[in-house]
Amino acid sequence: MCPSSNDYSKISGIVYLIGMPGVGKLSIAKKLNETLHWKLLDNHTIINCVTSVLDRSDQNWSSIVMNMRKTLFTGLHKISTDNHQLIVTDAIASCDDDIFQNIKDLSTAWRCNLYIIRLSCSESENIFRLTQEGRQSNHKLVDKDLLVHIRNNYHLFQPQDYELCIDLETSDLTIQESADHILNWLESFNG
């Protein structure tokens, strides 16, 4: 079902797409952005900046990524406008409370809604998507064994007592269908 021709320029908020590596976060975010025309911050914007100068296996890599993330979000708090519009992608697990707190603090500072979409797909579909052309050239995870390890040992972050959150299983959905589902959900709050 296609969303109506809503004027999304009047909606403010942060659309926060979270999911395992390779689930389709950035693809869906780009498709959403074709309709919303919001700013888009992919988690690899920060990760790739650090990876360009430091190997992921370096003991300092993770702390530098976290420090860059915190600096970015702290800086964004200072932006003053009446209509904040941002799409953010992230791969956060249940143990990543600090990462979620960054985005939650930003929505509080901006006094806007934080719409959380937890994306998932079957393991076989996730492996298929992970091995698609283009991921490696964008410094994204392409190691199937590591993905299986992540899926078996980490759980996707679940915000506690947060109403503006949905789970979207995308195994049998196209990118467009996934984006349409999210747009329809957003309209239910802003229609």
Domain of 14: which CATH number? 3.40.50.300
**Structural domain of residue 32, as residue ranges?**
8-190
Q: What pLDDT, on the 0 to 100 scale, is given for residue 162?
A: 82
Alpha carbons 127 and 24: distance in angstroms, whole number: 11
Q: What is the mean pLDDT of the chain?
A: 88
In a domain, 179, yes or no: yes
Which among 30, 65, 34 has a CA at the least distance from the CA of 47?
Answer: 65
pLDDT at position 3 over 50: no
* Number of domains into which the chain is organized: 1
In a domain, 140, yes or no: yes
In a domain, 56, yes or no: yes
The band of 96, judged by pLDDT with boundaries at 50, 70 and 90, is confident
In a domain, 1, yes or no: no
Alpha carbons 176 and 191: distance in angstroms, whole number: 20
In a domain, 172, yes or no: yes
Alpha helices in the chain (DSSP H): 25-36, 43-51, 61-76, 97-110, 123-130, 144-153, 175-190
In a domain, 2, yes or no: no
pTM of the entire structure? 0.90
In a domain, 3, yes or no: no
Which residue bears the tokens 């901006």?
Answer: 110
